[in-house]
Structure formats: C-alpha cells, structure tokens
Structure 1
Amino acid sequence: MIASDLKSTLAPARVPHAPDQPMHDASRFPLVRLRRRAVQSGYAFAWRAEMQRLLALATPFVIVSEHCADETPDDTRLRAAWLRSQQATLSAYCRGFIVIEPRIEARATTREAWRVVTQGSGVRTVIVSGMRVAGELAPVLLKHSPGEQEHAPAHRAAPL
C-alpha cells in the first residue's frame, strides 16, 4: 500500500467533513497527519483546539506524526494533561497515535517519550519506521473498538 491508497482504504461508508487545520492535515480522514512544520514552541493550546475539533466529529480516526525530540517541556506537560483529561472521549474516537521514527537507534527513546505524554489517555501509541508502515497500520487500528484497547497493551512499538 502506498500513501495515495490511504483515502480509499481508510474511508468508512459515511465520513463527516473533517476540517483541514493548520497543524492537522485531515484530507485523508480518518487518517490525520500532524504537520511537523506547523508545530512551533508554544503550540500546545492551538493543538488542543484542533484535537477538540477532530473529536467533535464523533468518528474514529488515527493520527500520524513524525517524532520531534525538541518539544518544549511546557508543551509536553500541557499536551499530556489535556490527553489525560480527555481519556473517555479520546479512547472512544482516537484509535491511535502512529509515530514515525526512521532511526532504529532512536525508537526506544521515542517510545519512552510518547509513553510519558500519552500515559493515562487511553490511546494506543505505535512507533514505526516510515509513512508506508503507518499507512498499513492505520486500517488495523481503525478496526479495533475502544473496548478492545482495555485488554491490549497501551504502548507497543513495531519491530521495524
């Protein structure tokens, strides 16, 4: 599967109009890509507002982003607190965060950083090597119901 195949593979029968936002590219909804270039220091409040708009669609989705090791501690704290405070809604609609870390030697550190941020959010986080793998994994995560996540490990890393 290639990135251009995602729209047809991931599109459920009835998809609400997903708003395109400065940080989140929802053009292939339910696959939503975080635009790394739009993420700047102090972005957590705008990120939270965009996440709330995605959750308001009341439709399952998956977020794909590249790992950014230079996020400020304030942004990390604010995002983690919001994720924990939205656990019920997130676990109902956000089927997972797929984080791209192409460097195999950095994946363990990336996994730990994301574990800290998403701990208590009820959202599965998976670290993968690239967009191709993320595109193959997204439909799998979308098929899982929220109740299935309670019995599955919250944080897994793909061995790629």
Structure 2
Amino acid sequence: PPLTSPNVTSDRISYIGGDHIRANCSSPPSLPAANITWYVNEQMVPGFTANHVLNYSNGYASSLATLELEAAVHSPVPTLMIRCEASIFDVWRSTSHTIVLRERSANPASALGRSFTGAATETCLPTIMVLLLQFFLQLLQRYSGTSIR
C-alpha cells in the first residue's frame, strides 16, 4: 500500500455563486493504481470515473483526477468542503486533507446598504454644502447687522 495520503488542490480559495471551480487529486504511487472518489460537503460525488493513470518504469502507478463543478448561486451553505479519497479494492483506503472554499460577496458594500463612496455621497454632499452656506450667511448677518439677500 502507499505510504502517504492522496493530495488535493484547487484553483481558488474562495468563490462567488456561479463560479467554475476545479480541483485536482493525486494518489501516491501504488500497484495497482488507486481509485479516486470525490466528496463535496461530505457528500460523495456520484458517477465520477475520470481517473487518469501515470505509469512509472518500476511498475507502480499514480492516479490523477480532476473535479469540475459550478458553485450554486443561492446556496444556503456559504462554504464548499472538497476532499478526495484514494482506495485500492478493500485493501487500502486513505483520505486527503479537506479544502475549504468560502463564498465571498460579489459586492461587499451592497450588504451594508448604500455605499458612502457611491450615490449616498452624491446626494448628501450638496445638501451639506447648502446647510453650511446658510449657517455662515446667518452668522455673517448677525455680526454685521445688515441683511444679506
């Protein structure tokens, strides 16, 4: 049996709903080559058979598998946990570490309402300027004793 666990990698560390996610799993050299099974959020990915085998000159072989999926747009769980498992019949079985991908907001400011750097500033700034101008005109009128019109 192999001496190490399978290794899993991903093309990203976070995602937005609708993103295309690709993960790769490689098993250590063994004889025969291991079968690879994918798990997403602890659920086995059914019907996955796309293993590629790398044969070595010493007779051993490594299995490579690529998982491609599209992140759900409105998922109730904002996390994807991806892992793979390598097995050789009922003789040997080992699981990779789990990759945790966190969903990120497409527009972080939208969750907070209007942005201070967006339309809210464009609306508030002229109003503030008019109020300040009125205040200074009243001060000037009070101290000069004359009416400014």
TM-score (norm 1): 0.20
Whose helix fraction is larger, Structure 1's or Structure 2's? 1
TM-score (norm 2): 0.21
**Structure exhibiting the larger radius of gyration computed from Cα positions:** 2
Which fold has the larger relative contact order, with Cα–Cα distance below 8 Å and residues 6 or more apart in sequence?
2
